[in-house]
């Protein structure tokens, strides 16, 4: 089986190294980017298509040329073999030397090609055109002498060499010269056609693409300007484009986004105001806390000083019975005050920092109120206060211990901050699904701007009055926190010089009204 080898007489002696160039693109708008990208894609497509077609044409031309020259070589081989078989007893060398010149001329005329014959040692023995230009075929001839086919393309001609096989082996080599000028001309015509057609398509598509993209970029520009206005705080009220494609949906999305941004900014501004108010309140609480620390330090120091003084007196005059009795009473009183002060501080700290567990259960509120009233009645009588109660049966769900603490704190304050021969009332009412406990007294009225302040930790209306009445400013804040933990609400609902009802149901005396609201569990009606 013969092997085909292509030898090229012309080699490229130049080589180019790719250089990377950096193109800095700045300020190129989409109006030009899109057409340029489209043109580049078309150029690439036309280039690849042209390369594929021209490569196919070249491969087809080469295949036809090889098959044509192979057929001619087979005809020459058949003619030479026929002549060799007709010659009697001649060696291949003698046959080629004697018959090759005539055979070369005969075959050249019949094939319309230049035919050169070589013997088995590579010596030229026949040439149909001995005066024509000779091509250097040394390397190709050596391939042919090995039983292989080789050809050389040089300009517009092809030199084809093929072995001539005889009955007993290689007779020689035939060299055929063929012109491929027509094929090359056809190839060049097709290449020019692709060049002109591709150029025309490229220019036309660029113009059409520029016109189409200009409309798109105009709408994109409107959206861009709208986004810049949104960033500047100016929000569109209506859609800018009347389109149903992606740009139209983008326009609609920008409109919705502007509404969301506007609402978010408004919410942030409101939140900023709330945070500023919270910071202001925190600063106020911080100041109140500092004030409370100063107050409680003084409150702790006062009983401790008294206890220390009596301890020193007992060391010096321990045999005085009257002094011992007075010291015992005073130390007990101051110790009780210290205990209450520390106890309230600890309770408030627990409420502020820990989520302690409430022991809730069903509570007969009117019974709890009657128990609290009986506990405070003696203290009220000692000050000459008129204490009255008006309760109705009602059940709530709460912690009885903490409920009792709230009510006793309110009643204790009603006794402390009251006038001599004054009055106190304890009552409850039911409104829909809520039980309201009222504690009223004839104490000095509280200015409206201080109604909320008295429920804040570390705040007292008067340091002197607080110290005089053993108050720390923690009782009401602690009571409100406990009420809120049980789902209730504690407020000062009235404080006036003339507007409250006294214990006998008549108005005209100054006083205060505290209300404790709790969720109703069961209302049994009046008894």
Model-wide pTM > 0.75: no
How far is residue 119's CA from residue 167's CA, in Å, rounded to a whole number? 15
Please indicate, yes or no, if residue 257 is contained in any of the structural domains: no
pLDDT in tens, 216-275: 777 777 777 778 777 777 777 777 777 777 777 877 777 788 888 888 888 999 999 999
Please indicate, yes or no, if residue 289 is contained in any of the structural domains: no
CATH of the domain at 442: 3.30.565.10
Cβ neighbours of residue 190 closer than 8 Å, sequence gap 6 or more: 53, 54, 57
pLDDT of residue 14: 36
Please indicate, yes or no, if residue 433 is contained in any of the structural domains: yes
**In the predicted model, what is the mean pLDDT of residues 172-190?**
88
**In the predicted model, what is the mean pLDDT of residues 340-351?**
68
Residue 493 to residues 121, 424, 450, 489, Cα–Cα distance (Å): 133, 16, 12, 11
* Distance from the first to the final alpha carbon of the chain: 127
Contact predicate 500/425, CB 8 Å: no
Q: Is residue 371 scored above 60 in pLDDT?
A: yes
Q: Is residue 189 scored above 70 in pLDDT?
A: yes
pLDDT band at 145 (very low <50, low <70, confident <90, very high): confident
User: Which residue matches tokens 């409107």?
Assistant: 222
Please indicate, yes or no, if residue 375 is contained in any of the structural domains: yes
CA-closest candidate to residue 440, choices 385, 392, 486, 365: 385
CA-closest candidate to residue 98, choices 73, 126, 121: 126
Q: Is residue 287 scored above 50 in pLDDT?
A: yes
CATH of the domain at 116: 3.30.450.20
- Residue bearing the bigger pLDDT, 512 or 215: 512
User: Which residue matches tokens 């020259």?
Assistant: 69
What angle separates helix 400-416 from helix 365-382, to the nearest 10 degrees? 30
Domain-terminating residue out of 133, 158, 193:
193
Domain-terminating residue out of 193, 210, 238:
193
How far is residue 90's CA from residue 103's CA, in Å, rounded to a whole number? 16
Count of structural domains within the chain: 2
Domain-terminating residue out of 163, 193, 223:
193
Can you give the residue range of the structural domain that contains 76? Answer: 27-193
pLDDT of residue 502: 57
pLDDT in tens, 99-121: 889 888 888 888 888 899 998 88
Radius of gyration, alpha carbons of the chain: 59
Q: Where are the beta strands (DSSP E) in 332-463?
A: 361-364, 386-390, 395-398, 423-431, 434-441
pLDDT of residue 461: 62
Please indicate, yes or no, if residue 367 is contained in any of the structural domains: yes
- Residue bearing the bigger pLDDT, 353 or 156: 156
Please indicate, yes or no, if residue 73 is contained in any of the structural domains: yes
- Residue bearing the bigger pLDDT, 452 or 19: 452
Please indicate, yes or no, if residue 262 is contained in any of the structural domains: no
pLDDT of residue 15: 37
CA-closest candidate to residue 159, choices 194, 101, 116: 116
pLDDT band at 61 (very low <50, low <70, confident <90, very high): confident
- Residue bearing the bigger pLDDT, 75 or 131: 75
Please indicate, yes or no, if residue 255 is contained in any of the structural domains: no
């Amino acid at each position: 089986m013969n092997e085909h080898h292509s030898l090229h007489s012309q080699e490229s002696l130049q080589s180019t190294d790719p250089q990377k160039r950096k193109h800095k693109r700045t300020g190129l708008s989409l109006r030009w980017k899109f057409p340029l990208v489209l043109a580049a894609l078309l150029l690439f497509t036309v280039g690849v298509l042209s390369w594929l077609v021209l490569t196919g044409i070249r491969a087809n031309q080469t295949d036809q040329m090889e098959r044509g020259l192979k057929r001619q070589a087979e005809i020459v081989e058949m003619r030479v073999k026929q002549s060799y078989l007709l010659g009697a007893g001649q060696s291949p060398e003698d046959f080629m030397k004697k018959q090759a010149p005539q055979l070369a001329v005969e075959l050249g005329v019949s094939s319309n090609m230049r035919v050169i014959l070589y013997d088995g040692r590579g010596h030229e023995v026949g040439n149909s055109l001995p005066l024509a230009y000779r091509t250097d075929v040394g390397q190709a001839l050596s391939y042919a002498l090995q039983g292989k086919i080789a050809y050389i393309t040089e300009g517009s001609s092809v030199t084809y060499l093929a072995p001539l096989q005889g009955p007993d082996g290689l007779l020689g080599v035939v060299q055929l010269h063929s012109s491929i000028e027509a094929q090359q001309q056809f190839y060049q015509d097709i290449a020019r056609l692709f060049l002109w057609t591709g150029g025309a398509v490229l220019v036309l598509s660029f113009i059409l693409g520029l016109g189409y993209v200009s409309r798109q970029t105009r709408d994109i520009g409107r959206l861009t300007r709208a986004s810049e206005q949104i960033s500047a705080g100016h929000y569109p009220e209506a859609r800018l484009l009347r389109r149903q494609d992606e740009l139209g949906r983008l326009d609609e999305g920008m409109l919705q986004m502007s509404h969301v941004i506007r609402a978010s900014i408004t919410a942030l501004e409101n939140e900023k105001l709330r945070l500023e108010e919270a910071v202001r309140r925190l600063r106020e609480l911080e100041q109140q806390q500092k004030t409370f620390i100063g107050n409680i330090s003084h409150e702790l120091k006062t009983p401790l000083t008294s206890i220390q003084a009596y301890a020193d007196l007992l060391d010096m005059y321990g045999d005085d019975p009257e002094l011992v009795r007075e010291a015992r009473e005073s130390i007990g009183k101051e110790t009780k005050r210290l205990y209450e002060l520390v106890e309230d501080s600890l309770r408030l700290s627990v409420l502020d920092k820990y989520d302690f567990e409430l022991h809730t259960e069903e509570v007969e509120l009117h019974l709890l109120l009657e128990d609290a009233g009986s506990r405070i009645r003696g203290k009220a009588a000692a000050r000459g206060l008129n204490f009255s109660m008006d309760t109705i049966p009602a059940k709530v769900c709460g912690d009885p211990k903490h409920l009792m603490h709230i009510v006793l704190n309110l009643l204790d304050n009603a006794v402390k901050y009251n006038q001599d021969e004054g009055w106190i009332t304890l009552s409850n009412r039911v409104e829909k699904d809520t039980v309201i406990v009222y504690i009223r007294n004839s104490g000095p009225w509280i200015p409206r701007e201080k109604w909320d302040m008295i429920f804040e930790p570390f705040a007292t209306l008067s340091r002197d009055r607080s110290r005089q009445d053993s108050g720390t400013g923690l009782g009401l804040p602690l009571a409100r926190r406990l009420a809120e933990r049980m789902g209730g609400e504690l407020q000062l609902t009235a404080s006036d010089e003339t507007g409250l009802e006294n214990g006998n149901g008549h108005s005209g005396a100054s006083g205060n009204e505290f209300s404790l609201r709790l969720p109703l569990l069961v209302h049994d009606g009046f008894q």
